[in-house]
A and B are shown apart, each in its own frame.
Chain A
């Protein structure tokens, strides 16, 4: 589904990604771990298409298409979803309205008619209860005045409603207590299917107790320095990231 080849990306003055290679097949869950500043979030945003990063080398194929040539909203409509580490507030726009417009924008891209109100409402109800969210949150402005946990849950709700093919979760576990973590993980696990893939970007191993990955990659210095199965995450927890820094330098 996703094929990243020798990806280099930079901001104005710093090269952050220095040759990433990664393949994610449909049905898989990949975890990307690494110390702060290793380029995890950058990778997530380059996949989503954020303008702040310039890709200087390499390519990304998504379902066989050149992803880097696509607009942000086209990527979204084609099924890429990024759960933000810091979800953005949109004052005066109700969560419900926002969700409905987002769903319809994506449907429009695929030449489908707008979702029926009744269908939307029942889908929303179902997902709210699964995520243990109060429906009053739907009438509040998008993320405005939400607690950290509420914001993260709101991201997962959007993901559940938009049903992406490839979900990228950028440190969704940060700032969550253990109960919230479980709910978020349940939301992600509910989306697991042979047609979908997930990339979980995280600093800590604990989220992976609940979202069990097929593969774990360790990012350091802008490169994937090790890949393995879920046991790699446990090993990391044991040894810390220190030894990987050395790996990256050598």
Chain B
């Protein structure tokens, strides 16, 4: 009788495959945060004065803010003075070609399964590799430039296309948006910048791979994607970090802007180090992601598979401003061991006939706690707007938890909001049934979990769907003997 529970306990033992450390000399600044640090980061990046001023405004505003505590996650107070806000591998290459990238870094990415050699890369995916605070390589730049697509490290875009950066930076997530966004705005180091000109369908998937390597270092990247009228882009984001005993902070900001008839598809596979089985270490992932459907008939989709981090705090949102615009959020979030996730989305309907869909799948194992927090707002002008939300939770074992917090606000009587929620347990009867058909317990759980996530997997780009499946099976490895 007890064996099933013991099996479920054992389920929580798992290996994090990306936990290695790259031994490379870093140019890091001393821990701590002050105006001087903000100035130092800005000067290391040789930034224009306006950007420094923007950072300083953000920093001063941040000082007036309190860390939010409305979320349903628990962690000891973060000492913001103990973190390092800038760390870059030394001999930062002036990148004319990939051959100039430090071989150790290329090797690091090879080990992570991301080849930066163009000929070896997954066909048709351009990669920007961000290592701690800097971008070390961006592939396929020339191919993309032929189509007028700008895809490069944020810090380069500041110099090459200041007018675009100035116009859009902070236009979706203002520096005053929230505690973590303000912090990011003050100290952000690098990230990706993408610009798809009018009428262009980006010829390949764009992808950024974020890697935290240095100890005690926070990663504060900033991503900005702009799709002009009628443009289309599919963007993928992946993340990993070494195993370390102390918690590390990751506070990113992602801004998306879609103009008339433009479409942005943003997919994330987040696999930051989640901490060990006792809950020691792991990344604190406090991220602000927001897209603005500014134009008519524009569309923004967020698809995320979240398996990592000790704490995940993020709500990729869409502001549906243009008439007939569409916002989508598809999410799979896994919390095993001591992981905690408070994640969901916000759909703000402003324009007429705007439509949003939310499909959230939460999986909890061990003593993991999974929270869905979603807000759907129908503003006065949102005539005939529609929302459909579905939140499903799957529990593995009997010590984990799933919670759903939907917030709905409707100010237009023609708008319609639908919300469905379900919670189920990976049933012992399901496992028994599948084992009776010859599957091992682990294969049985994988099959049940994959079935549960199917709706979301079907929406991921092909390579990512395969990756996500593998990731999930590793995440849950050992969760059931």
Contact = CB atoms under 8 A, between A and B. Distances in A.
A247 B440 CA distance: 43
Interface stretch (A19-27, A99-107, A230-238): A99-107
A102 B437 contact: yes
B437 A76 contact: yes
A54 B1 contact: yes
Interface string B5-49: 000000000000000000000000000000000000000000000
A35 interface: no
B450 interface: yes
A51 B437 contact: no
B367 to A, nearest CB: 23
A198 B3 CA distance: 29
Nearest to A141: B451
Contact of B436 (A82, A89, A101, A141): A82
B1 A93 contact: no
B451 A158 contact: no
B93 interface: no
A106 B440 CA distance: 10
B438 A109 contact: yes
B434 to A, nearest CB: 7
Contacts of B443: 101, 105
Contacts of A105: 437-440, 443
Contacts of B448: 90, 93
The interface size bin for chain B is 20 to 34
Interface string A49-60: 111101000000
A12 B2 CA distance: 11
B91 to A, nearest CB: 49
B4 to A, nearest CB: 6
Interface string B418-437: 00000000011110111111
A88 interface: yes
B169 interface: no
B447 interface: yes
Contacts of A200: none
B237 interface: no
Contacts of A158: 437
Given A105-B439, A158-B437, 19 more contacts: A12-B1, A51-B3, A51-B4, A51-B432, A72-B436, A73-B435, A73-B439, A77-B438, A88-B427, A88-B432, A88-B433, A90-B451, A92-B451, A101-B439, A101-B443, A102-B437, A105-B438, A105-B443, A162-B437
11 contacts: A73-B439, A76-B435, A76-B436, A81-B436, A88-B430, A88-B433, A93-B447, A93-B448, A102-B439, A105-B437, A158-B437
